[in-house]
Chains A and B, each alone.
Chain A
Amino acid sequence: MIILIYALVVLALLAGLSVLFLDVFSAIIATGFVSLMVSILFLILKAPDVAIAEVSIGAALTIGILLIAKARADKYLKK
């Protein structure tokens, strides 16, 4: 029970940080951390299949797509 409350507080903090960062790169990394904390919450609530799916898709592939998009957008804006 205490672990659940602790994980929820960290999740709320990280979600707030990911909105308030001014640099786009830091906001993307904070989004990855939010996905990781949601996966830990799934594990606390006893759903390991959903936790593995969330950490492999949300924290690896989505962050990869966002970083590729940011690199292309930077190159386009600089031109």
Chain B
Amino acid sequence: MKKFIGLILVIILGFFLYKGAVTLSQQTRNPGLNNYYNQNAVSDTGVANIVTSIVLTYRGFDTLGEVTVLFLAALGVGVLAFFKKNKKIKESSFIIKTGYKILFPAILLYGIYIFVHGHLTPGGGFQGGAIIASAFLLQLIIGEYKMSSAWAALFEGFSGLVFILLGGAGLLWLGTFLGNKGLLPLGTVKMLFSAGIIPIIYVFIGIKVGFEMTGILNNLNKE
């Protein structure tokens, strides 16, 4: 009986969510900001992927908040783990040990490709970092721990520091956090070396997020 009432409540909630989503996607009351982004984003920043230009240039301060929240989460998990050795979960089979030798550099290369081309193709720093962390998760499943926690924390802290220094340089030079106009030339759209300082920022965000997630998985495995 309780499960039946629960099912009816879930259906009512689903109906209201659907109605809200349809209303939000059809509203055209004040399209000024949408039209500004559609027309001026490529010429302002030189980035072919408009989502990247919004995340790093127009709303750069929110990206600082997101990086801070990720760092706090990794720090919280790191405080809970004690300094024991990593434990093996189970002895793994021959197939996955051999497949790991081919898969690990391929996954790592794919993750690096996604955040280096963050300003040209969909993706960016956070997505590429999560893919790098899943390559290190494969290492954890097998039982070969080649990435020690101290080195991962060192890379993560260093990349976070460089990201904040780049944002601060934008603040000093232009008055906006992660400002883009004066520091490096904009170049032509759709080339790899274009869009000022945005690819460099995404490289450091990608390294930071990758080693952060690796640190979280290592710390969870240690207890």
Query: Interface on A for B, CB 8 Å cutoff?
Result: 48-49, 51-53, 56-57, 60-61, 64-65, 68-69, 71-72
**Can you list the 7 inter-chain pairs with the closest CB atoms, starting with the nearest?**
A48-B122, A56-B130, A60-B134, A52-B127, A64-B137, A49-B122, A57-B130
* Cβ of A53 to closest chain B Cβ, rounded Å: 5
- Quick check: is B133 within 8 A (CB to CB) of the other chain? yes
Count chain B residues whose beta carbon lies closer than 8 angstroms to a beta carbon of A.
Answer: 22
- Quick check: is B124 within 8 A (CB to CB) of the other chain? yes
Least CB separation from A54: chain B residue: B127
11 residue pairs A–B, Cβ–Cβ below 8 Å: A49-B127, A52-B122, A52-B123, A57-B130, A60-B131, A60-B137, A61-B133, A61-B134, A61-B213, A65-B217, A68-B89
Q: Could you say which of B114, B124, B213 has the most chain A C-beta atoms within 10 Å of its C-beta?
A: B213
* Cβ of A64 to closest chain B Cβ, rounded Å: 5
Are B134 and A56 within 8 A (Cβ)?
yes
Query: Interface on B for A, CB 8 Å cutoff?
Result: 51, 89-90, 114, 122-124, 126-127, 130-131, 133-134, 137, 140-141, 213, 216-217, 220-221, 223
Are A72 and B130 within 8 A (Cβ)?
no
Are A49 and B217 within 8 A (Cβ)?
no
Are B213 and A53 within 8 A (Cβ)?
no
Report A-chain residues with C-beta under 8 Å of the C-beta of B223: 72
Report B-chain residues with C-beta under 8 Å of the C-beta of A65: 216-217, 220
Least CB separation from A63: chain B residue: B137
Are A49 and B134 within 8 A (Cβ)?
no
Q: Could you say which of B122, B140, B217 has the most chain A C-beta atoms within 10 Å of its C-beta?
A: B122
Report A-chain residues with C-beta under 8 Å of the C-beta of B141: 64
Least CB separation from A70: chain B residue: B89
Are B137 and A49 within 8 A (Cβ)?
no
Report B-chain residues with C-beta under 8 Å of the C-beta of A49: 51, 122-124, 127
B114: which of A51, A52, A69 is its contact (CB, 8 Å)?
A: A52
Are A71 and B89 within 8 A (Cβ)?
yes
Report A-chain residues with C-beta under 8 Å of the C-beta of B133: 60-61
* Cβ of A19 to closest chain B Cβ, rounded Å: 10
A65 to B53, CA, bound (A): 32
A54 to B90, CA, bound (A): 28
Least CB separation from B220: chain A residue: A68
Are A53 and B89 within 8 A (Cβ)?
no
* Cβ of B199 to closest chain A Cβ, rounded Å: 16
